C-alpha cells in the first residue's frame, strides 16, 4: 500500500488570530493596510502558512469581515411591518457599525474582475442577510399581508439597495426612522391592507396574532 502524504492540520487558534489581526489592521489603516507580512507578524504566524489558507489577499479580507458579522436571525415578530423594519436595521447595523469604515467599496472593486472571488464575497458577506430578509417577505406573503405576486428577491433588492447605496457612496446612515420610512414606502405599493399592518405593528408583541 502506498503512503499518502498528509499535510499539517489547520490550527483554529492561528486562523482566529489571523482574522483578528486582519480586522485590527483594517480598522487602523483601511483596505490597503493588511499586507500579508503585517498580518502574519501580528498573528504570530508566517506568510507561507497564511498563503496555504488564503491564497489571495481578497479572500483573507472577506473572511476577516465575515468574522465580525453575526449570522442574521430571521425576524419573527408576528408583524410584517416590524419584521421588515428589523431586517433593514440589521443590515444597516452590519454595514455601518460592524464593518471597518471604507473597506467594503474597494473590496468589491478588487473582486469584480474575478468571478470566483466575486461569488465568494456575495455568498459570505451579502447572501446571509438577504436570505433572512427574503424569508420574512415570504412569510408575509403566506400570511396574506402582501400581494400574492410579490417577488421576495426583488422586494429584498429594493430594501437592501438603499442601505448599500448609502454605505458605499455616502449619505446619512439608515437609522431607525429612515428604515421605517423605507419599509412604509414599499409596503404602500405591495401590502394588501397597509393601514392594518400599521395597526398591528403598534400592538404589544403578545397581542400580534
| pLDDT single digits (tens) 145-201 | 999 999 999 999 999 999 999 888 877 889 999 999 999 999 999 999 989 988 988
Res 6 pLDDT > 80: no
Closest to 90 (Cα-Cα) out of 138, 133, 127 = 133
CATH of the domain at 49: 1.10.10.60
Residues 90 and 161 in one domain: yes
Q: Are residues 116 and 40 in the same domain?
A: no
On whether residue 106 sits in a domain, the answer given is yes
pLDDT at 170: 79
Residues 151 and 177 in one domain: yes
**Any domain includes 2:** no
Pair (29, 122) in one structural domain: no
* Residue 47 sits in the same domain as residue 129: no
Same domain, 27 and 57: yes
Contact 84/187 with Cβ under 8 angstroms? yes
pLDDT band at 9 (very low <50, low <70, confident <90, very high): low
Domain boundary among 46, 66, 86: 66
Residues 195-206 pLDDT 10s: 998 898 888 887
Does residue 5 form part of some domain? Answer: no
Task: Using pLDDT thresholds of 50, 70 and 90, give the confidence band for residue 8.
Answer: low
Q: b/e for 92-122, b at 16 or more Cβ within 10 A?
A: bbbbeeebbeebbeebbebbeeeeebeebbe
Residue 207 has pLDDT above 80, yes or no: no
pLDDT of 96 above 70: yes
pLDDT for 173 equals: 84
Domain contains 178 = yes
One domain, residues 61 and 73 = no
CA distances in angstroms from 206 to 92, 98, 101, 209, listed in the order given: 27, 31, 38, 8
Which is more confidently placed, 93 or 72?
A: 93
| 62 & 110 share domain | no
Q: Whole domain around residue 43: which residue ranges?
A: 12-66
What pLDDT score does 13 carry?
87
- At 10-25, the pLDDT tens digits run 678 889 999 999 999 9
- Same-domain pairing of 58 and 85: no
Instruction: Specify whether 26 is located in the same domain as 91.
Output: no
Give the end of a domain, one of 29, 50, 66: 66
Q: Provide the percentage of residues in the chain whose pLDDT is more than 70.
A: 95
Q: With respect to residue 17, please indicate whether it lies within any of the assigned structural domains.
A: yes
User: pTM for the full model?
Assistant: 0.82
User: Which tens digits make up the pLDDT trace of 114-152?
Assistant: 999 999 999 999 998 889 999 999 999 999 999 999 999
Both 41 and 99 in a single domain?
no
Residues 62 and 73 in one domain: no
Query: CA separation (Å) from 193 to 82, 138, 190, 199, 203?
Result: 15, 17, 9, 10, 16
Q: How confident is the model at residue 5 (pLDDT cuts 50, 70, 90)?
A: very low
Domain count, the chain: 2
Amino acid at each position: 500500500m502506498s503512503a499518502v502524504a498528509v499535510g499539517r492540520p489547520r490550527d483554529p487558534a492561528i486562523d482566529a488570530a489571523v482574522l483578528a489581526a486582519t480586522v485590527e489592521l483594517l480598522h487602523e489603516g483601511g483596505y490597503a493596510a493588511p499586507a500579508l507580512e503585517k498580518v502574519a507578524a501580528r498573528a504570530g504566524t508566517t506568510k507561507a502558512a497564511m498563503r496555504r489558507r488564503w491564497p489571495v489577499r481578497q479572500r483573507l479580507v472577506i473572511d476577516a469581515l465575515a468574522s465580525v458579522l453575526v449570522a442574521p436571525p430571521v425576524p419573527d415578530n408576528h408583524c410584517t411591518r416590524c419584521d421588515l423594519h428589523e431586517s433593514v436595521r440589521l443590515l444597516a447595523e452590519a454595514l455601518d457599525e460592524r464593518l471597518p469604515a471604507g473597506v467594503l467599496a474597494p473590496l468589491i472593486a478588487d473582486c469584480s474582475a474575478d468571478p470566483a472571488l466575486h461569488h465568494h464575497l456575495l455568498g459570505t458577506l451579502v447572501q446571509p442577510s438577504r436570505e433572512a430578509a427574503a424569508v420574512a417577505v415570504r412569510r408575509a406573503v403566506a400570511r396574506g399581508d402582501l400581494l400574492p405576486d410579490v417577488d421576495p428577491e426583488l422586494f429584498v433588492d429594493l430594501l437592501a439597495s438603499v442601505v448599500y447605496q448609502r454605505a458605499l457612496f455616502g449619505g446619512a446612515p439608515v437609522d431607525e426612522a429612515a428604515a421605517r420610512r423605507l419599509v412604509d414606502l414599499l409596503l404602500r405599493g405591495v401590502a394588501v391592507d397597509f393601514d392594518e399592518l400599521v395597526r398591528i405593528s403598534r400592538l404589544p408583541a403578545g397581542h400580534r396574532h
